[in-house]
Amino acid sequence: MRFVQYLLRTDPTKREVGLRVGQEIINLKTIKTGLPNTLLELLTHHGDFLEELEKVKLNEIKDRIPMDQVKLLAPILNPDKVVCVGMNYKDHCEEQNVPVPVEPILFSKFASSITGPNEPIRYPSITKELDFEVELAFVIGKKGKDIPLERALDHVFGYTVAHDVSARDWQLKKNGGQWLLGKTIDDFCPIGPEIVTRSELPDPHVLPIRCRVNGVTEQDSNTDQMVHRVDAIVSYLSKFCTLLPGDIVLTGTPPGVGVFRKPPLFLKKGDVVECEIDGIGTIRNEII
């Protein structure tokens, strides 16, 4: 299944949750009345319903909304945590001539950095080194702490595309070497266009992944290059904090980012960045 959050273009004040089926959306409230209008609330309070949805015959539901009548939002908003894994692609480590990390390198973004799959990214006045990073992200569906590796995927709800926007000067040259400020500026976490559940995407480690800037492919790899895989990340992270429904984890970026080019390739106003993962979709964000 493919979950989306959206606004009707005829009523842009009302957020809804639905399932994308081809070029149409089925509002979840047509399947069951009384549901909340955010996916975070559904994951937190209606886990049983989401499990029951797997048995629903969607092809028999005729009440649908054409995609061109909606505006897609970020599929998850205001999660408890947005956690990111650094240096998590073998070919990205090779690009920098650094060792492959033995343990996951973790940092965070604030929830306020999340924006939609087609929203503009405002160029912050405080940076001169704005960079792009396409990433596979996963969303936690079930609460857990100290999760064994063999049960880790049971806690994953699904997968989405993320753009880990980075202010490299603040990440690498300022603030005492702490990455947070360079990663968590407003608009620095576009995600979407939908969340694809594990039942539809059973193996997230065989997916072509790429990033285009103004139509030119700058990153082109495969999630089979990931050092620490999804189950290992879930298990490791849960040793330190309780994972909650709706938590988002970005799993790292492949090679080709701008900062390691010679000369560096940084984003500028007017650039259009497309992050794409086969089997999930594409997000498109213009720098303004």
What span, in angstroms and rounded, lies between the C-alpha atoms of 171 and 191? 21
pLDDT for 239 = 98
Ordered by start, the domain boundaries in the chain are 2-73, 82-286
pLDDT at 208: 98
Question: Strand, helix or coil at 127?
Answer: coil
Per-residue pLDDT at 88: 94
Is the pLDDT assigned to residue 234 strictly greater than 90?
A: yes
pTM, 2 dp = 0.97
The model's pLDDT over 13-71, given as tens digits with 9 standing for 90+, comes to 889 999 999 999 999 999 999 999 999 999 999 999 998 998 899 989 999 999 999 99
* pLDDT confidence of residue 268: 98
* pLDDT for residue 22: 95
- Residue 73's pLDDT is 98
How high is the pLDDT of residue 212? 98
Tell me the pLDDT band of 99, cut-offs 50, 70 and 90. Answer: confident
For the chain, give the percent of residues with pLDDT over 70.
Answer: 100
pLDDT of residue 7: 97
pLDDT at 94 over 90: no
Query: Alpha-carbon Rg of the chain, whole angstroms?
Result: 18
3-state DSSP assignment of residue 3: strand
- Identity of the amino acid at 256: G
Residue 62, pLDDT score: 92
The angle at the Cα of 17, spanning 16 to 19, to the nearest 5 degrees, equals: 135
Grade residue 91 by pLDDT with cuts at 50, 70 and 90. confident
pLDDT digits (tens, 9 = 90+) for 108-158: 999 999 999 999 999 999 999 999 999 999 999 999 999 999 999 999 999
pLDDT band for 98, please (50, 70, 90 cuts).
confident
3-class SS of residue 25: strand
User: CB within 8 A of 184, min separation 6: which ones?
Assistant: 108, 109, 110, 112, 113
Residue-level pLDDT at 218: 97
Residues 6+ apart with CB under 8 A from 160: 75, 76, 137, 138, 139, 191, 192, 193, 194, 195, 196, 280
CATH of domain 82-286: 3.90.850.10
pLDDT above 90 coverage of the chain, percent: 90
Across all residues in the chain, what is the average pLDDT? 96
Residue 248 has pLDDT above 90, yes or no: yes
Q: What is the pLDDT of residue 128?
A: 97
In the structure, what pLDDT confidence band is assigned to residue 177 with cuts at 50, 70 and 90? confident
Could you tell me whether strands 65-66 and 189-197 are parallel, antiparallel, or unpaired per DSSP bridges? unpaired
User: SS3 letters for 64-125?
Assistant: CEEHHHEEEECCCCCCCCEEEEECCEHHHHHHHCCCCCCCCEEEEECHHHEECCCCCECCCC
